[in-house]
Amino acid sequence: MHQDDSGRDTLRQLSVLNRIARIALEDLDLGPMLQRIVDTLHDEFGWEFIAFARVDRERGEFCCEAVYSEVPTAIAVGYRRALGSGVVGECALTGRTLDIEDTSSHPNFIDTMPGTRSELCVPIVHRGEVLAVLNVESQAPGAFRGQRALLETVADQIAGAIRAANLVAALQRANEELRDAYAIVESLSELDSLTRIPNRRSFDAWFAQAHADAGASASPLSLVLADVDDFKAYNDGYGHLAGDDCLRLVAAILKETIAGSTGRLARYGGEEFAIILPGTALEQAHALAERVREAVQACAIEHRHAQAGLVTISVGAACAVPAAGSATDALFARADRALYEAKRAGRNRVASAA
């Protein structure tokens, strides 16, 4: 009879190990995998408390990743404590199995499940590194007598899977960080480094898309080009650092002035700025161009090397209802000619071309 009981226990343990092995192979998401193993151990053995704690070397802590408890306990997923603290912390730090039949005799015992009398902690080790701890507790003394070998086998069995899950998680974090870094780089590549408004690259993409949309919907598209008057004289007279400050200020003025409109502002190059106005007729585009011109003049930025004595801008506006599939060149050329006319007529003014 005793041999029959022993044989049944062996078969039961082999069955448990087989189920755990399948779980470890099926799931590389660490938390769910460990929780399924916890549930399997409870289903088979009915232990009051079962938990897995992951070792976090960077923070010098262990962290609960999965837990089952029949009684109220301080332990929950995410619970953390310092390595070396308590029986679990001691196991994580030393890498030694701690089989405690009577917790009252253990100096490092911390009672996180009220009434705990016995505790078995098994390190999960992969190539000499303690990755996690399997912890079982009971309110009965000596409850895990004869179970140490089973749980050490479980630990050996899942060590590789935990290592793989950690690597997968680390790879996912690295990929997320890489995506975030790429997004930042991509964003920076679309901004002008001096004025922090969209750059020529952004303008080209926006203008092409707005032009195609206007052609497809047979709707008006306006383009406004603004150029800082006598900017070379400003640079030569005040220096390039002051010139940079001037461009930053003009960009800020334009951005604030068109806020709330459909306009999209970009630095086209040098001292030239562009505003794309989808769905906007020439009359409205001219009015907006006049507002930005007045806003720059109203800021009264000193320019001793210009006839006006202030920093001003000349602005050209043009509008078209593009033919479907047509190029952007014609509309840009008309806005550029209008800007030239504003310059030729004396600067600090707006000219329009239909």
Positions marked catalytic: 271
Structure tokens at 165: 């899950």
Structure tokens at 21: 């092995």
Quick check: helix, strand or coil at residue 329?
helix
CA angle 239–241–244, rounded 5-degree value: 110
Residue 68 near residue 51 (C-beta atoms within 8 A) = yes
Residue 55 near residue 131 (C-beta atoms within 8 A) = yes
Beta-carbon contacts of 246 under 8 Å, excluding residues fewer than 6 positions away, are 228, 231, 234, 238, 301, 311
CA angle 213–218–223, rounded 5-degree value: 65
Residue 265 near residue 274 (C-beta atoms within 8 A) = yes
Token pair 């585009």 is found at 285
Q: What is the DSSP letter of 198?
A: B
User: Which run of H or E residues covers position 45?
Assistant: helix 30-45
| Pair type for strands 313-320 and 350-353 | parallel
Strand segments, DSSP code E, in the chain are 49-56, 61-69, 80-82, 98-100, 118-126, 129-138, 221-228, 264-269, 272-278, 313-320, 350-353
Token pair 């343990």 is found at 13
Distance CA 335, CA 272 (A): 12
Beta-carbon contacts of 351 under 8 Å, excluding residues fewer than 6 positions away, are 314, 315, 316, 317, 338, 339, 341, 342, 345
